[in-house]
Structure 1
Amino acid sequence: MNRFKMILGFFSTIPVKNYEFIESDLGKGIRMVPLVGVLFGILLVCMNSILSFVLGKDTNAFLTIVFYLFLTGGLHFDGVADTSDGIFSHRSKERILEIMKDSRIGAFGVISLIILFLGDWLFLSKSSLFLIFLFPIIGRCIALFTCRLSTYARNEGFGSQFMIEAKKPSSLFVLISFILLIFLGSIFLNELAVIFAICLTFLLIAFVTKRINQKLDGITGDVIGFTIEISQLCFLIFATIGERLL
């Protein structure tokens, strides 16, 4: 329980009390990250359901994004901006890492955030409660998946601990278990578009992660945040396409 409280405090703004922060134990918490997504999903569905009685889908989707932003504290959005500024600068590895560490946001970071917010708003307004529940879970399963595929690009930082722990069999078991449970739930609810969306999302993020690893000789914490947010949007897009095709 202490490990979950620690990872919840690290990845969210939800107040967490009565836990001990153990830096050496933080990396093991990567296996708990999908559970943070489950908690986010429950909170988002509850808020969305309540607001649906008085607001239209577009307004509800906007407030869902605002609430999600509040829950994450903007942590992963910062990763999206920093990674976009670095990767799309087309500089050397060393220069890209310097750009990503810079607290200032550049043009590519602004553009990526605009696209992300508009995309989330558009596709959340078309999403069922099941998709709204799932999208933060998928993002955090992707975080675990990304860490399994990668090495750490910097010489120090919390990210290196996540990479080490994510490669262990217990982490793979957690990842597979969550995906299978989602697949079973999707079949039970006849939401086959979800399975289609998850498969495409994981394939796309595997490709993106591989390219970033090649460019940086690994990834950073910013890249983890980047893949979380991008995968969530991709999942919503692919689910919408899947509903048309299936």
Structure 2
Amino acid sequence: MFGFFKRSRANTPRRAPNSAPDTRSTPPGTPRWPLELWRRPDLRADDPEYVAACLTPTFPEEPETRVLNDGYALNRIIEVAKFDGSTSPEMAEVVTELLADPRYTDLDALYSWLVPVYRGTKRELELIGQGLRSCPRKYALLDLAGTAMLRRGRSAEALYYWAHAVANAESVGKGPQASAYTFLIAVANTTGRRNAAKVFRARANQDDRPEMVLDDEHTYLVEKVFRQPTKAMRQVLDTLAQRISG
């Protein structure tokens, strides 16, 4: 059913961490890193190449067997969240220490706690890019990248990352666990792609819930940022839905 979402094991082109993308020609399958894309956008949602950029496997995904709930890591995180807050400097310190521990190096789940500490800053995008480069499991990080771009008013980039997030999750049999589906449901409804929204909702086991499943803040942002969708954006949503349901 999900044969199209093959796990990408090919070597992906690498750039120096702070180099800018070549806006003259960026072939589909070339990773766009969040900070680079924010500084010098090379995704144009009115360009036919945008569809290929969103739907071509780009960020190699591998299964991850490690968990935070191992009796140590998550306990430390919960303790800090309880006494200092989940977005406190103390949280950043603890999670950074855990990432330096060989048991948790490149564990994507830790970034879900670290990235929100720096929400809205350059460091937020740096950390997401760091995780995408190093973590075996990437679909949750791609979701974080899409959400970060949504908050910055960048619809083309947000959809790009969410499309890759669900494709990556499907490639390792974790489709229903991809929270990016929640955003895609809202985007599809906002842009008038009702059939795509239905497919995304069913895949995320949300087919019995209201159309807009996000909280008020993110629902408002989706409706604002995607109020003028391009033909290419609609094509991304429709094609992605076809591949998922096919």
- TM value normalised by structure 2: 0.30
Higher helix share: 1
